[in-house]
């Protein structure tokens, strides 16, 4: 009996791993710190196309967004994310906020809705949301969570990939005591210093591809 | 004492009051949110000593809460103790399961779970106030918050409700114990980070050799270093190798930890040292044993030239050169013409070496592990060579007066000498001469310009004897004058070609399995038949012949390719080796043998390497040598590189080589190998044991 159970389980395991092997060929692509950023071309909520090429020679921050994700709410409800966007926009750093939710999934927005959400969230990004509903950009970057953050330097290299800060609580009250990785990386870069933390476990909700 | 505990109670009461006022949630003995109810798992009365208690999470079906490392998304629950009348230990996390959620994998619990911790009361009552935060997810996630309080008397002994204690014990049994030699049925053989691939390998060896253990689940503690995706699990002898995917760009800490679980119990491995994998090790070994970093470049180039010259005598190059010499002898003997031919031949050799060198450098830059001799690892290339040598052999035998055409290919025309040079390099590659291995190995580690210099050195070496023969007609003139002997010689020369064809067929068989022989032989048959058809010119027979050849080519090449892709290969060959005492290559098994202090002999070989086969037949597989090995308890390993196994490529790289044969000898108790010459003699093996 027990034997039978075990063999059944190992068959299930085997099938499981076979599926695991078959599936993630696409998911393997990712933006890796120290390597070139994957190219993208996405239309924003206002209908303008943004390409990686457009940002050559400039700093670019990418942020993955889902308005219904508690972790996104943590950083937008507290104004933390918008404050960062504003601060670095003033330092001529581009900031694109990407929605990779597929149609019918949590966080998916039609262009008109997205413009509204941008407005009522007081989004301070360089463009209203990039609408990546086919998930191509999210998959190319290996965006796992909202908010997943990437920083791309003027040479087109990824210099940071991971969480926004070091505290994976959903409670906005922890923000003042959290170490913000994105701000630290940008500040270090602007000051011509090396980035101390270039990678972290991205916390948050899964991106709803 | 009494006073202090009174003070504490007052303090807690104050905290409670604050908590109530803060209005986040009402302080009580339970907490709840969407899909989650949390309650205490505690005795009615605490004893005076340490007690393990916990938070019991009742989670709706299909929803889950998280382990300490939540995996690719999600978050572990937080327990923030605001106050307690006693000592509170760290949270103890029952081992998790992998939860694949769409494109991610999380580590958590399906169904209810208890997060445990130890308390030692130091007052008359056990009072605790704790702030909770948790995340419960199905696909979407909902955070929950709460404040929970506890107040229980402390008596002479702990008094549990039986079912509560049972529940506590159930989850306590799932809390990983610190792995020790007594309780952990495995031991960590290695934690290795591979620098090229973004992976990290954990290797577990059973503590008792021969123990029947199924492979346990392993969960990484550091979600910033490793993704939660199920690791690739491979059996390596008795050992189990887990290959984890690293978080892209994560810096490598000196140590990391895992939790290992057999589904019932769990063990925690803390602070396992991460060793650098292949590339770093290769660099270190090369600088220690290889000539790469210590020898001046000119010496290496000289060695390369010498190695190249010796290639001329290798059995697989000689036929090609004979053909060429034969064509020159048939010529009217103008010195200027011969010099030109020689130079063209040299140009062919050099250009090919340069091209291969450039290719190797490009691939090396691409981080791809590749070795010399790779041409013959492709079934289509082997089949193409079979075709070429078969047609040449047939022509030499006189079946078809292909002579003029052949001379055009390998002889008279400008392209001809050049082509001979190109051909010579390709055919020579697999049988590396004694010096070639070291030079090539160095070339894979040297800067690009030095590597290229070595390649060109090899080319010069290979071309030199031929050019000399052309420049100094005195030597060439010693060849007899053209005459009927040429016909005899030509026919005689067919036989090495037939032998080469047989050898190549055998290589093809090793590459794609037994059907390799059939495919090759059928192709050969069709070619002969087509020649016969072509000679008996009835209406349309030529067209028929060409059609047949074309069809045979398409069919055989696609079949060979398909078979190779399916990887029908090897297997059978290794079995027969095992019975003769030779083990297939397995890094762990070798490591273990070395750890035991056993002597190890590794034969890095490949089916297409004729030098390897000669050594095997004449030395390694002789009864005398087998006896020596057996008597001295040598662990024998045959590392078969026929299909370019990446593990073996890596091992060769660590020895500073990238071609076979390589014979690595680890005397008993030694961990650094002695490399034996590429052409073995029985006496060399005897010498290993004579001291």
pLDDT value of position B471: 74
- Alpha-carbon gap: B47 to the closest alpha carbon of chain A (Å): 35
**Rounded to an integer, what distance in angstroms lies between the CA atom of residue B327 and that of residue B509?**
33
The pLDDT, as a whole number, for residue B428 is 61
Interface probe for B, chosen from A168, A178, A196, A202 (most Cβ of B below 10 Å), is A168
Judged by CB atoms within 8 Å, which residues 182-211 of B form the interface with A?
198
Q: Is B76 on the interface with A (CB under 8 A)?
A: yes
For tokens 């590794």, the residue is B602
Per-residue pLDDT at B23: 42
Which one of B36, B140, B142, B252 would you mutate to disrupt binding with A, by most A Cβ within 10 Å of its Cβ? Answer: B140
In this structure, chain B runs to a length of: 691
Quick check: A179 contacting B, CB < 8 Å? no
- Find the CB nearest B73 among A158, A203, A209: A203
Q: How many cross-chain Cβ pairs, A to B, lie less than 8 Å apart?
A: 93
Query: For residues A196 and B374, what is the distance between their CA atoms, to the nearest angstrom?
Result: 42
Would you state the pLDDT for residue B313? 63
The two structure tokens encoding residue B548: 């047949």
Q: What are phi and psi of A19, to 5 degrees?
A: -65, -40
Rg (Cα) of chain B, in Å, rounded? 36
Contacts within 8 Å (CB) and 24+ apart, B372-376: B372/B429, B372/B432, B372/B436, B372/B440, B372/B658, B372/B659, B373/B429, B373/B430, B373/B432, B373/B606, B373/B608, B373/B609, B373/B659, B373/B660, B374/B644, B375/B426, B375/B429, B375/B430, B376/B429, B376/B430, B376/B507, B376/B608
What pLDDT sits at residue B292? 33
Partner residue facing B140 (CB), from A10, A27, A205: A205
Torsion of CA B158, B163, B168, B174, to 10 degrees: 140
**A17–B101 C-beta distance less than 8 A:** no
Would you report the helix, strand and coil content of chain B in percent, each value rounded to 5? 45, 25, 30
Domains B2-174 and B186-276 share a fold: yes
| Cβ pair A205, A99 in contact under 8 A | no
Domain boundaries, chain B: 2-174, 186-276, 288-519, 572-690
Taking the CA of residue B106 and the nearest CA in chain A, the distance in Å comes to 10
Residue A106: closest CA among chain B residues belongs to which residue? B140
Condensed to tens digits (0 to 9), the pLDDT of residues A93-126 reads 999 999 999 988 889 999 999 999 999 999 999 8
- What's residue A97's pLDDT? 95
- Closest in A6, A32, A171 to B145, CB measured: A171
Nearest to B388 by CA among B323, B299, B301: B323
pLDDT score of B20 = 45
pLDDT for res B376: 57
Q: Is A46 on the interface with B (CB under 8 A)?
A: no
pLDDT < 50 stretches in chain B = 1-3, 19-26, 278-294, 367-374, 402-413, 430-435, 568-575
pLDDT digits (tens, 9 = 90+) for A174-191: 898 899 999 999 999 888
Stated as kind and residue range, the H or E segment containing B141 is strand B141-153
Cβ–Cβ gap A202/B73 under 8 Å: yes
Q: Give the mean model confidence (pLDDT) for residues A89-93.
A: 91
- Closest residue on chain B to A27 (Cα): B103
Q: Which two tokens stand for residue A66?
A: 């889902």
Q: Please tell me the distance from the alpha carbon of residue B537 to that of residue B543, in angstroms, as a whole number.
A: 10
| B182 Cα to chain A: minimum distance (Å) | 26
pLDDT tens, position by position, A42-74: 999 999 999 999 999 999 999 999 999 999 999
How far does B416 lie from chain A, in Å, by closest CA?
Answer: 46
SS3 B307: helix
Closest CA relative to residue B585, chosen from B643, B512, B632: B643
Cis peptide before A147 (omega within 30 of 0): yes
User: What is the value of ipTM here, to two decimals?
Assistant: 0.76
Q: Which two tokens stand for residue B370?
A: 């590749």
The CATH number of B186-276 is which of 2.60.40.10, 2.60.120.20, 3.40.47.10, 1.25.40.10?
Answer: 2.60.40.10
In this complex, is the C-beta atom of B139 within 8 Å of any C-beta atom belonging to chain A?
yes
Give the class (CATH, top level) of A31-206: alpha beta
Give the CA count within 13 Å in the CB-facing half-sphere of B249. Answer: 26
Min Cα distance A17 → chain B (Å) is 8
Residue B215 to residue B217: CA distance in whole angstroms: 7
Whole-number Cα distances in Å, A90 to A58, A86, B16: 13, 6, 45
Fold observed for domain B2-174: Immunoglobulin-like (2.60.40)
CA nearest to A206, candidates A132, A133, A146: A146
Q: Which positions in chain B touch A30 (Cβ < 8 Å)? A: 248
Contacts for B451 with CB less than 8 Å, ≥ 6 apart: B357, B360, B361, B442, B443, B444
Dist CA A96 CA A59 (whole Å): 11
Residue A80: closest CA among A45, A124, A36, A114: A124
Paired with B636 in beta bridges are B582, B601
Which CATH superfamily includes the segment(s) B572-690? Glutaredoxin (3.40.30.10)
Which residues in chain A are closer than 8 Å to B74, comparing Cβ atoms? 203
Query: Which residue in chain B is spatially nearest to A160 when comparing CA positions?
Result: B249
Find, among B414, B217, B252, B597, the residue nearest to A13 by Cα. B217
For residue A15, pLDDT over 50 is answered with: no
Q: Is A135 on the interface with B (CB under 8 A)?
A: no
Q: How far apart are CA A159 and CA A31, in angstroms?
A: 9
Instruction: Output the pLDDT for position A184.
Output: 94
- Whose CA is closest to B74, among B51, B95, B102? B102
Return the domain boundaries, chain A. 1-26, 31-206
For tokens 């495995």, name the residue: B186
The pLDDT of residue A100 is 93
pLDDT of residue A12: 37
| Residues of A (55-114) whose Cβ lies below 8 Å from B | 68-71, 106
Question: Model pTM greater than 0.95?
Answer: no
Query: How many residues are present in chain A?
Result: 209
Query: What residues of B are in contact with residue A206 (Cβ under 8 Å)?
Result: 72-73, 101-104, 139
> Which residue in the block uniquely carries the two structure tokens 């193409």?
B384
């Amino acid at each position: 009996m027990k034997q039978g159970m075990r063999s059944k389980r190992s068959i299930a395991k085997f099938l499981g791993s076979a599926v695991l092997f078959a599936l993630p060929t696409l998911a393997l692509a990712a933006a890796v710190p120290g390597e070139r950023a994957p190219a993208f071309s996405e239309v924003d909520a206002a209908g303008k196309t943004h390409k990686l090429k457009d940002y050559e020679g400039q700093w670019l921050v990418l942020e993955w967004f889902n308005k219904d994700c508690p972790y996104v709410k943590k950083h937008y409800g507290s104004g933390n994310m918008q404050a960062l966007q504003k601060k670095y926009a003033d330092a001529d750093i581009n900031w694109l906020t990407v929605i990779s939710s597929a149609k019918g999934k949590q966080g998916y927005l039609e262009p008109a809705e997205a413009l509204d959400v941008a407005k009522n969230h007081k989004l301070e990004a360089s463009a209203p949301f990039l609408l990546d509903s086919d998930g191509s950009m999210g998959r190319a970057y290996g965006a796992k969570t909202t908010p997943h953050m990437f920083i791309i330097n003027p040479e087109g290299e990824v210099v940071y990939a991971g969480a926004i800060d070091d505290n994976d609580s959903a409670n906005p009250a922890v923000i003042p005591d959290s170490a913000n990785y994105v701000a630290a990386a940008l500040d270090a870069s602007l000051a011509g210093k090396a980035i101390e933390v270039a990678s972290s476990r991205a916390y948050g909700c899964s991106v709803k591809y | 004492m009494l006073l202090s505990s009174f003070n504490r109670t007052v303090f807690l009461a104050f905290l409670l009051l604050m908590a109530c006022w803060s209005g986040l949630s009402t302080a009580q003995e339970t907490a709840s949110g969407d899909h989650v109810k949390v309650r205490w798992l505690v005795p009615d009365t605490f004893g005076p000593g340490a007690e393990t208690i916990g938070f019991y999470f009742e989670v709706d079906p299909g929803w889950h809460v998280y382990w300490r490392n939540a995996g690719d998304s999600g978050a572990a629950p937080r327990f923030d103790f605001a106050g307690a009348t006693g000592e509170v230990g760290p949270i103890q996390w029952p081992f998790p399961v992998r939860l694949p959620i769409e494109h991610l994998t999380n580590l958590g619990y399906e169904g209810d779970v208890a997060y445990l911790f130890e308390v030692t009361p130091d007052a008359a009552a056990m009072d605790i106030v704790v702030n909770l935060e948790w995340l419960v997810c199905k696909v979407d996630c909902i955070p929950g918050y709460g404040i929970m309080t506890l107040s229980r008397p402390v008596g002479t002994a702990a008094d549990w409700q039986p079912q509560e204690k049972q529940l506590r014990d159930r989850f306590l049994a799932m809390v990983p114990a610190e792995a020790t030699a007594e309780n952990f049925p495995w031991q960590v053989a290695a934690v290795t980070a591979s620098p090229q691939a973004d992976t990290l390998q954990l290797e577990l060896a059973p503590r008792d050799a021969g123990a029947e253990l199924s492979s346990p689940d392993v969960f990484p503690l550091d979600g910033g270093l490793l993704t939660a995706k199920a690791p690739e699990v491979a059996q390596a002898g008795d050992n189990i190798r887990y290959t984890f995917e690293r978080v892209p760009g994560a810096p490598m800490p000196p140590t990391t930890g895992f939790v290992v679980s057999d589904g019932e119990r769990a063990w925690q491995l803390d602070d396992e040292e991460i060793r650098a994998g292949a590339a770093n090790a290769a660099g270190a070994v090369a600088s220690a044993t290889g000539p790469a970093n210590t020898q001046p470049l000119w010496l290496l180039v000289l060695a390369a030239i010498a190695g190249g010259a010796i290639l001329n005598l290798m059995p697989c190059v000689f036929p090609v050169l004979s053909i060429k010499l034969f064509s020159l002898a048939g010529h009217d003997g103008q010195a200027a013409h011969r010099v030109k031919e020689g130079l063209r031949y040299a140009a062919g050799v050099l250009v090919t070496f340069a091209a291969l060198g450039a290719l190797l450098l490009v691939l090396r830059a691409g981080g791809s592990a590749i070795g010399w001799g790779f041409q013959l690892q492709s079934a289509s290339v082997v089949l193409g060579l079979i075709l070429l040598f078969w047609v040449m052999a047939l022509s030499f035998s006189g079946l078809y007066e292909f002579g003029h055409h052949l001379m055009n290919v390998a002889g008279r025309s400008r392209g001809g000498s050049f082509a001979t040079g190109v051909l010579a390099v390709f055919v020579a590659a697999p049988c590396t001469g004694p010096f070639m291995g070291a030079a090539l190995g160095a070339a894979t580690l040297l800067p690009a310009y030095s590597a290229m210099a070595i390649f060109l050195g090899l080319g010069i070496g290979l071309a030199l004897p031929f050019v000399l023969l052309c420049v100094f007609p005195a030597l060439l003139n010693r060849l007899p004058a053209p005459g009927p002997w040429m016909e005899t010689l030509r026919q005689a020369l067919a036989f090495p070609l037939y032998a080469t064809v047989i050898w190549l067929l055998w290589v093809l068989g090793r590459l794609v399995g037994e059907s390799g022989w059939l495919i090759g032989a059928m192709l050969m048959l069709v070619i002969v038949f087509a020649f016969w058809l072509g000679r008996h010119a009835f209406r349309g027979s030529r067209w028929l012949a060409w059609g047949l050849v074309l069809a045979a080519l398409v069919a055989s090449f696609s079949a060979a390719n398909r078979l190779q892709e399916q990887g029908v290969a090897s297997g059978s060959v290794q079995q027969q080796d095992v019975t003769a005492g030779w083990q297939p290559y397995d890094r762990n098994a070798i490591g273990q043998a070395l750890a035991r202090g056993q002597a190890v002999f590794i034969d890095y070989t490949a089916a297409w390497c004729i030098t390897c086969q000669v050594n095997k037949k004449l030395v390694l597989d002789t009864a005398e040598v087998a006896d020596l090995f057996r008597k001295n308890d040598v662990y024998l390993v045959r590392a078969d590189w026929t299909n370019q196994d990446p593990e073996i490529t890596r091992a060769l790289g660590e020895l500073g080589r990238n071609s076979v044969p390589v014979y690595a000898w680890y005397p008993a108790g030694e961990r650094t190998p002695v490399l034996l010459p590429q052409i073995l003699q029985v006496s060399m093996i005897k010498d290993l044991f004579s001291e």
